[in-house]
Amino acid sequence: MKYSGRQGFNRVVIIGEDELKEGRFTLRNMETGEQADLSREELFAHLTEEYREDTGGNGKESVSPAGKESNVTGGQAEVVLPEQAGPAVKTHYCGVLDQNFVGRKVKLSGWVGKRRDHGGLIFIDLRDRSGLMQLVFDQRMGSEMFRQAESLRSEFVISVEGEVVRRSEETINPSLTTGEIELKVENMEILNPSKTPPFYIEDGVNVDDNLRLRYRYLDLRRPEMLKRMQLRHRAVKLIRDFLDHYEFLEIETPMLTRSTPEGARDFLVPSRQHSGSFYALPQSPQLFKQLLMVSGIERYFQVVRCFRDEDLRADRQPEFTQVDIETSFISTEQLFAITEGLMAALWREFHGIELKRPFLRMPYYQAMDRFGSDKPDLRYGMELVELNDLARKSEFKVFLSTLESGGSVKGLRVSGGVDHLSRKDLDDLTLLARQLGAGGLAWAYVEEEGWRSPISKFFTSSLVEEINLKMEASAGDVLLFMADKWETACEVLGHLRTRLAPEKVSEEPHFMWVIDFPLFHYNEEEQRYDSDHHPFTAPKDEDAHLLDSDPLSVRAQAYDLVLNGVEIGGGSTRIHNREEQSRIFSLLGLSEEESKEKFGFLLDALTYGAPPHGGIALGLDRLVALLSGDDSIREVIPFPKTAAASCLMTGAPAGVSEEQLEELGIEIKKSSEKE
């Protein structure tokens, strides 16, 4: 079986029954006759290595979109078309032509960028998705065409024919990849004129988001946006190829499904045929992928849109894309290894770096205790310091009473904080801490002689020494203290930690797994337990005996993948036993009847030989944004929604006609409260 299909491959893998059984394969180079005997893993490593070489991505060249000039169809300039498909509208991409094409006649099509009209000579920057090419219109080449050329304006769509010529030495533009050549235009057709665009179609523009989103199709014309789309495409392709190599099947699951009580608010879709009933758009294909495991798929994945009707953030959209993965008969460690391999492949391809594996694993409790976050940014230190024992020796009532009631006193050191944290800044931080739920915030400027601080009078000089020592503080630092319930102290200081993070942090990606999440948290509003992950997550075996006596201390077989303070994925081992699943439902306050009504199909499925299974979902938008270095996932989503979940281009969401509502049996309640 040949695995070729792409030019440049010349090796053959010999696969037969024996090979499959034994997991050893022979790789033969058809040119040299060389043979190598490889294990499955070695073979795979070999193939991905060669694949990268063959596609020209040798790590150094394949960098983030900002660095890579062009990547159209593997880098060749010819437009790829089926043979004999009729006369060409376009034969080459402009941005990929170079000296090798000098003397060739080509036909280029694209958009008019900058225009430099010298009277008898006009220069046009022609832009297509690959880049720019300078067109030269000479009055002497023909007055009819020249008259047309004079009428060209920004964003006109044109098609030109001519000869690629070398520029004279002094007119070479070194800042352009095609700067050594230009096209002497012999023929031009204006395919479509354009109104003056509402903003400049160029990189680095500082335009109002309203405009960018309203004219997103123009925004996407900007080279940096095209590069983001290209990066996204390449990342998804790599992910598909990678998972395919590991024998995952991509299977689609329904978009119209039923609302389930857990988790986020659902987007609902009214049913016309069942008046008064609703579909829900999936928050994730969670149940379907588990059922696919019961179906015996064993390894499933899907690049899938998910929907959650909650308020938005820079890294949250109402619809977003997950790389959804579910496996049977695979240990958590093995799933970690596959996921890490996928991350390594992505970072190798797009940043040319080799990730250190395995990634760090840190229990949830430790992440909270040391960094005040379940997605800690490990690119810098600033760990929280536990000060209970030392705080007990002070005279400070806030500390003492907190400790008395079982709370914690924790500290955070801001190195060199004296220089950039004024009294006002500290007041602001105190205010912020209160807004985040803390009682207050104590602070101290560390000086040679001791602390300058409103609370220094409660601390003896030797205690100050001890605390300084424990927090590794020296003169010039600022210390922040918080006394509160352990969770609150950690969370709030964790917030301050990210707020006060150093400007310059390590460039290296700091991947980690946060593991051992609690299975439940207590929902104060609803007065009951809620799943921390989702209700199908299995408890850790060694904690299962605590389910009835102390549910909050039961840890889950759940994990998050975190990179530089961003959660890029999460998953768990699922419950595959019907009784255990029912038990969890009842702990969550679902009656037997309710759970049968809502999840009966799952409970049934679990009784028909459900294999042990588990999986993970990766946030594709966040992943791509991290790869491209963008702070907001909006940049890597072609048509994103605003923070208020509306689409400025289409005007969605919008009202519908009375007839439509009538058909659906829906009546809109007049929002008359205000009137």
Contact flag: residue 134 with RNA (CB under 7 A): yes
Contact 71, 64 (CB under 8 A): no
Site for RNA in 561-590 (CB under 7 A): 567, 570
Q: Which stretch binds RNA (CB under 7 A): 17-25, 60-68, 258-266, 582-590?
A: 258-266
DSSP 608: T
Least spacing, CB of residue 495 vs RNA, in Å: 7
Q: Which stretch binds RNA (CB under 7 A): 3-11, 192-200, 242-250, 396-404?
A: 192-200
DSSP 308-325: --S--BTTB-SEEEEEEE
Residue among 73, 210, 275, 591 that touches RNA (CB under 7 A): 210
Q: Which is nearer to RNA, 443 or 517 (CB)?
A: 517
Site for RNA in 376-435 (CB under 7 A): 435
Whole-Å CA distances, 373 to 78, 417, 485, 491: 51, 22, 15, 6
Least spacing, CB of residue 608 vs RNA, in Å: 27
Least spacing, CB of residue 358 vs RNA, in Å: 21
Q: Which is nearer to RNA, 349 or 484 (CB)?
A: 484
Residue position matching structure tokens 């590991």? 246
Phi, psi of 97, deg, nearest 5? -75, 150
Q: Which is nearer to RNA, 82 or 204 (CB)?
A: 204
Burial state string for 351-385 with b = 16 or more CB within 10 A and e = fewer than 16: bbeebeeebeebebbebbbbbbbbbbbbbbebbbb
Least spacing, CB of residue 223 vs RNA, in Å: 14
Quick note: the x/- pattern for RNA over 588-627, rule CB under 7 A, is -----------------------------x----------
Q: Which is nearer to RNA, 42 or 262 (CB)?
A: 262
Rounded Cα–Cα distance for residues 132 and 96 (Å):
8
Residue among 1, 80, 85, 644 that touches RNA (CB under 7 A): 644
Contact flag: residue 167 with RNA (CB under 7 A): yes
Quick note: the x/- pattern for RNA over 110-129, rule CB under 7 A, is ----xxxxxxxx-x-x----
Amino acid at 241: D
DSSP 251-315: ----SSB---SSSSPPPEEE-SSSTT-EEE--S-SHHHHHHHHHTT--EEEEEEEEE--S--BTT
Q: Which is nearer to RNA, 473 or 633 (CB)?
A: 633
Burial state string for 648-672 with b = 16 or more CB within 10 A and e = fewer than 16: bbeeeeeeeeeeeeeebeeeeeeee
Contact flag: residue 208 with RNA (CB under 7 A): yes
Least spacing, CB of residue 284 vs RNA, in Å: 6
Quick note: the x/- pattern for RNA over 345-384, rule CB under 7 A, is -----------------------------x----------
Q: Which is nearer to RNA, 238 or 637 (CB)?
A: 637
Q: Which stretch binds RNA (CB under 7 A): 257-265, 344-352, 402-410, 574-582?
A: 257-265
Contact flag: residue 172 with RNA (CB under 7 A): yes
Residue among 13, 136, 255, 664 that touches RNA (CB under 7 A): 136
Residue among 128, 182, 340, 383 that touches RNA (CB under 7 A): 182
Rounded Cα–Cα distance for residues 663 and 371 (Å):
54
Q: Which is nearer to RNA, 418 or 505 (CB)?
A: 505
Contact flag: residue 257 with RNA (CB under 7 A): no
Other CB atoms within 10 Å distance of the CB of residue 457: 10
- Give the number of residues in contact with RNA, rule: CB under 7 A: 72
Other CB atoms within 10 Å distance of the CB of residue 200: 15
**Nearest one of 634, 635, 636 to 644, comparing CA atoms:** 634
Least spacing, CB of residue 222 vs RNA, in Å: 13
Q: Which is nearer to RNA, 19 or 180 (CB)?
A: 180
Characterise 120 by phi-psi region: left (phi > 0), alpha (psi -120 to 50), beta (else): alpha
Report the interhelical angle of 286-294 vs 592-606 (nearest 10°): 40
Residue among 175, 192, 462, 549 that touches RNA (CB under 7 A): 175
Contact flag: residue 308 with RNA (CB under 7 A): yes
Rounded Cα–Cα distance for residues 147 and 270 (Å):
58
Contact flag: residue 651 with RNA (CB under 7 A): no
Rounded Cα–Cα distance for residues 408 and 484 (Å):
6
**Nearest one of 623, 618, 83 to 304, comparing CA atoms:** 618
Q: Which stretch binds RNA (CB under 7 A): 131-139, 271-279, 339-347, 587-595?
A: 131-139
Whole-Å CA distances, 651 to 376, 642, 648, 667: 38, 11, 5, 22
Helix residue ranges, H only, 588-637: 592-606, 620-628
Q: Which stretch binds RNA (CB under 7 A): 307-315, 335-343, 407-415, 585-593?
A: 307-315
Site for RNA in 144-163 (CB under 7 A): 153-154
Contact flag: residue 326 with RNA (CB under 7 A): no
Rounded Cα–Cα distance for residues 232 and 657 (Å):
37
Q: Which stretch binds RNA (CB under 7 A): 6-14, 171-179, 354-362, 401-409?
A: 171-179
Q: Which stretch binds RNA (CB under 7 A): 37-45, 69-77, 193-201, 350-358?
A: 193-201
Least spacing, CB of residue 192 vs RNA, in Å: 15
Least spacing, CB of residue 663 vs RNA, in Å: 28
Other CB atoms within 10 Å distance of the CB of residue 601: 12
Residue among 47, 63, 88, 211 that touches RNA (CB under 7 A): 211
Bridge partners for 447 per DSSP:
450
Site for RNA in 45-64 (CB under 7 A): none
Residue position matching structure tokens 């075996």? 541
Report the interhelical angle of 332-351 vs 40-54 (nearest 10°): 20
Least spacing, CB of residue 673 vs RNA, in Å: 11
Q: Which is nearer to RNA, 2 or 118 (CB)?
A: 118
Rounded Cα–Cα distance for residues 525 and 289 (Å):
31
Least spacing, CB of residue 380 vs RNA, in Å: 18
Residue position matching structure tokens 């290209």? 230
Quick note: the x/- pattern for RNA over 508-537, rule CB under 7 A, is ---------x--------------xx----
Contact flag: residue 634 with RNA (CB under 7 A): yes
Q: Which stretch binds RNA (CB under 7 A): 34-42, 204-212, 220-228, 578-586?
A: 204-212
Residue among 30, 36, 314, 552 that touches RNA (CB under 7 A): 314
Rounded Cα–Cα distance for residues 601 and 597 (Å):
9
Least spacing, CB of residue 176 vs RNA, in Å: 6
Contact flag: residue 176 with RNA (CB under 7 A): yes
Residue among 3, 9, 44, 199 that touches RNA (CB under 7 A): 199
**Nearest one of 87, 107, 132, 104 to 188, comparing CA atoms:** 107
Residue position matching structure tokens 């979109």? 65
Contact 543, 553 (CB under 8 A): yes
